[in-house]
């Protein structure tokens, strides 16, 4: 299913370790099989373990006629394998109190599970079975298509969620990044079993897969399970490159919607995964409209004037580009006033460097948010899995804090002038 993980956190660090342990002494164990599948593991003292199987394939790897396929396959892998029916796939971990789930983004698919530590091999075997041996029966394709279409309709009924999908669709245009993760009914209706198999053969490449683990199991034992269940998977190396996004055209679009409130989204192209400025943009996004109640626009719009209940800034980096968003909702009569206040705050960030005390507080805030977010071992597993998939390495928490600390006030002004530039800032408004 499509899950809204806090990718503000995941994309910023991918490496924060839980509190209450010796962070600096904690080490991760890695191994790469001959077929290219990678393992990364960190030992923890918990009775509960967390694992995720990451595939570097998402919506942007689809052709237009395949739109929705990556997400659709994420649903279908639970519908039966060569040796299990759908019920037995679902009950394999649930019978022992575990939890099995999955998500799809523009650039990756992940199957993940939480379970008691004694069921490690059971989980590894299940992952291998559903990812590499699913049968995709035609009957399941027909029934699950209806489920996904219902999911699409539920998003359309929620303008606060759907506006993000439509904004990306407009800003990326005909590029694959502009396609919606859930897909569209006109394409889903045409999906056949052979289409599913062809997409997997083309895009489920073994050198683009990572099995991430955080749990109370030795490196030696987890390596044995990993090799037992994944080393015989046939090698399938990726030979194609993703189409880069190059043609950004700013836009300002308003649409009439039968809603009680106005929903507005402002945004711009951001930095990619490898751009060193991405950490600064995360900090700037947090200052503008992060989860804290003292973000600038939360104070300006909600606390001081009572104009909006929801104000949220976010930044999502991709492999070759990125996206900065600012969402808010308000009464239809207050839209103009909100936009004036936002423009004033943006101008301040673009023209006035933050003072030493202000900047220190902003850095402390985001560092604290990150540490708290990664208090859970599940978040840590998702973090190291994505980091190893994207970068082939995992930074320490100390390295991440050092990157935040190194950001200067002048650098934030430069980033603000590029990202918050009135001439390139785009907008989508549901009125």
SS3 sequence, 27-69?
Answer: CCEEEECCCCCEEEEEECCCCEEEEEEEECCCHHHCCHHHCCH
The band of 7, judged by pLDDT with boundaries at 50, 70 and 90, is very low
> Residue 18: what pLDDT?
34
Does position 317 have pLDDT exceeding 80, yes or no?
yes
Does position 4 have pLDDT exceeding 90, yes or no?
no
Better pLDDT: 359 or 27: 359
Please compute the mean of the pLDDT values over residues 360-386 and round it to a whole number: 91
> Residue 241: what pLDDT?
93
The band of 164, judged by pLDDT with boundaries at 50, 70 and 90, is very high
Give the pairing type, strands 109-116 and 48-55. antiparallel
Does position 13 have pLDDT exceeding 70, yes or no?
no
> Residue 63: what pLDDT?
97
C-beta atoms surrounding 329 within 10 Å: 22
Give bridge partners of residue 265 from the DSSP assignment: 327, 428
Does position 309 have pLDDT exceeding 80, yes or no?
yes
The strand order across the sheet containing 99-104 reads 29-32, 38-43, 209-215, 48-55, 109-116, 99-104
> Residue 26: what pLDDT?
59
Tokens describing residue 293: 């109640």
Q: Is 150 exposed, middle or buried (0-12, 13-18, 19+ CB in 10 A)?
A: exposed
> Residue 372: what pLDDT?
83
Does position 6 have pLDDT exceeding 80, yes or no?
no
The proportion of the chain whose per-residue pLDDT surpasses 70, expressed as a percent, equals 94
What's the number of CA atoms in the CB half-sphere (13 Å) around residue 246? Answer: 3
Residue range 252-430 in CATH 3.40.190.10: no
The band of 329, judged by pLDDT with boundaries at 50, 70 and 90, is very high
Better pLDDT: 195 or 17: 195
> Residue 21: what pLDDT?
36
Please compute the mean of the pLDDT values over residues 154-161 and round it to a whole number: 93
- Domain 7-230: state its class: alpha beta
> Residue 22: what pLDDT?
37
CA angle 384, 100, 95 (to 5 degrees): 135
C-beta atoms surrounding 367 within 10 Å: 18
> Residue 56: what pLDDT?
98
Please compute the mean of the pLDDT values over residues 251-256 and round it to a whole number: 96
CB 249 within 8 A of CB 426: no
Better pLDDT: 27 or 20: 27
> Residue 376: what pLDDT?
86
| Across 162-176, 209-223, 266-280, 364-378, least confident range | 364-378
Tokens describing residue 402: 């050092």
C-alpha 40/C-alpha 389 separation (Å) is 10
Does position 138 have pLDDT exceeding 80, yes or no?
yes
Domain ranges for the chain, please list them.
7-230, 252-430
Q: Give the mean pLDDT of the chain.
A: 93
Q: Read off the pLDDT of residues 293-302 as tens digits, 9 standing for 90 and up.
A: 889 999 999 9
Does position 196 have pLDDT exceeding 60, yes or no?
yes
Same fold across 7-230 and 252-430: yes
Please compute the mean of the pLDDT values over residues 63-73 and round it to a whole number: 97
> Residue 15: what pLDDT?
35
Please compute the mean of the pLDDT values over residues 373-395 and round it to a whole number: 91
């Amino acid at each position: 299913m499509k899950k809204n993980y806090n990718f503000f956190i995941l994309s910023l660090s991918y490496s924060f370790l839980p509190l209450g342990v010796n962070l600096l002494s904690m080490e991760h164990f890695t191994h790469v099989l001959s077929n290219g599948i990678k393992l990364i593991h960190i030992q923890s003292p918990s009775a509960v373990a967390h694992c995720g199987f990451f595939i570097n394939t998402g919506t942007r790897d689809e052709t237009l006629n395949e739109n929705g396929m990556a997400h659709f396959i994420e649903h279908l892998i639970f519908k039966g394998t060569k040796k299990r029916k759908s019920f037995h796939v679902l009950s394999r971990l649930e019978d022992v109190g575990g939890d099995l789930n999955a998500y799809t983004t523009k650039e990756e698919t992940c199957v993940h599970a939480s379970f008691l530590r004694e069921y490690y091999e059971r989980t590894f075997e299940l992952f291998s079975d559903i990812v590499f041996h699913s049968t995709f029966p035609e009957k399941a394709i027909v029934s699950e298509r209806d489920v996904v279409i219902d999911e699409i309709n539920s998003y359309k009924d929620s303008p606060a969620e759907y506006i993000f999908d439509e904004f990306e669709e407009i800003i990326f245009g005909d590029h694959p990044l502009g396609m919606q993760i859930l897909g569209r009914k006109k394409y889903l209706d045409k999906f056949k079993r052979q289409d599913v198999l062809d997409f997997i053969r083309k895009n489920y490449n073994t050198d683009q897969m990572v099995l991430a683990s955080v749990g109370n199991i030795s490196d030696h034992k987890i390596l044995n399970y990993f090799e037992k269940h994944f080393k015989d998977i046939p090698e399938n190396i990726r030979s194609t490159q993703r189409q880069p996004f190059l043609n950004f055209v700013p836009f300002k679009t308003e649409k009439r919607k039968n809603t009680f409130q106005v929903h507005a989204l402002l945004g711009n192209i951001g930095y990619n995964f490898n751009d060193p400025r991405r950490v600064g943009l995360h900090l700037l996004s947090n200052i503008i409209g992060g989860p804290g109640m003292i973000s600038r626009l939360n104070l300006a719009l909600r606390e001081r004037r009572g104009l909006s209940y929801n104000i949220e800034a976010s930044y999502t980096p991709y492999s070759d580009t990125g996206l900065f968003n600012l969402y808010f909702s308000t009464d239809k009569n207050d839209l103009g006033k909100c936009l004036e206040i936002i423009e004033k705050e943006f101008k301040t960030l673009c023209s006035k460097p933050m003072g030493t005390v202000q900047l220190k507080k902003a850095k402390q805030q985001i560092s604290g948010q990150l540490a708290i977010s990664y208090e859970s071992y599940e978040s840590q597993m998702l973090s190291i899995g994505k980091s190893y998939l994207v970068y082939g390495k995992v930074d320490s928490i100390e390295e991440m804090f050092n990157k935040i600390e190194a950001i200067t006030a002048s650098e934030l002004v430069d980033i603000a002038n590029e990202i918050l530039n009135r001439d390139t800032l785009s907008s989508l408004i549901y009125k």
